[in-house]
Amino acid sequence: MNPLKTGLDTVDLALMDLLQQDGRLSNAKLAEQVSLSETPCWRRLKRLEGEGYIEGYRAVLNRKKLGYGVLAFVQVGFGSHTGDAPLRFEEMLQAIPQVLSCHNLTGECDYLLQVVAEDLEAFGVFVRDVLRELPGVSSIRSSLSLREVKTPSRLPLRASEA
């Protein structure tokens, strides 16, 4: 990451990196970690939030402990890309909590969804009763995750490389 292109300096990058590791760090702890006093640290955080570098703060939950034993990657294909079906599809996906992420892709499929379900039976019902009913959907291919090796929770920020 080139901070000259983003307008960020090494302190900004360090603050964001620390928050990605622990979003509950207090302003006092953050200031101490980046060798700033609390007021300038707080101002930097507010600027990073205001400029959209920091979009929000959230807890990382354990899906298995919460009863979601299935994680699937679902490729969705469209028969036709004309009309408003793709837009309606994208709008309707926003309201489906089992869909964790959705990406519009190039290549063999049109969308790639990351979906959670309680078990295989619940996933099958979800595909049949929810995904197949969405506008424009002509094909669905699913791959089930056997094991999560790495979950994407942090962007690679390295203040030392700036």
pLDDT digits (tens, 9 = 90+) for 125-142: 999 999 999 999 999 999
Q: Which domains does the chain have, with CATH numbers?
A: 10-51 (1.10.10.10), 63-145 (3.30.70.920)
Q: What is the distance in angstroms between the CA of the first residue and the CA of the last residue of the chain? A: 7
Helix-, strand-, coil-residue percentages of the chain, each rounded to 5: 40, 20, 45
Query: In whole angstroms, what is the distance from residue 162 CA to residue 160 CA?
Result: 6
46: confidence class by pLDDT, cuts 50, 70, 90: very high
Instruction: Dump pLDDT digits (tens) for 64-85.
Output: 999 999 999 999 999 877 788 8
Q: How far apart are CA 118 and CA 162, in angstroms?
A: 43
Other residues' Cβ atoms within 10 Å of the Cβ of residue 38: 14
Sorting pLDDT into bands at 50, 70 and 90, what band is 157?
confident
Which pTM does this prediction carry?
A: 0.83
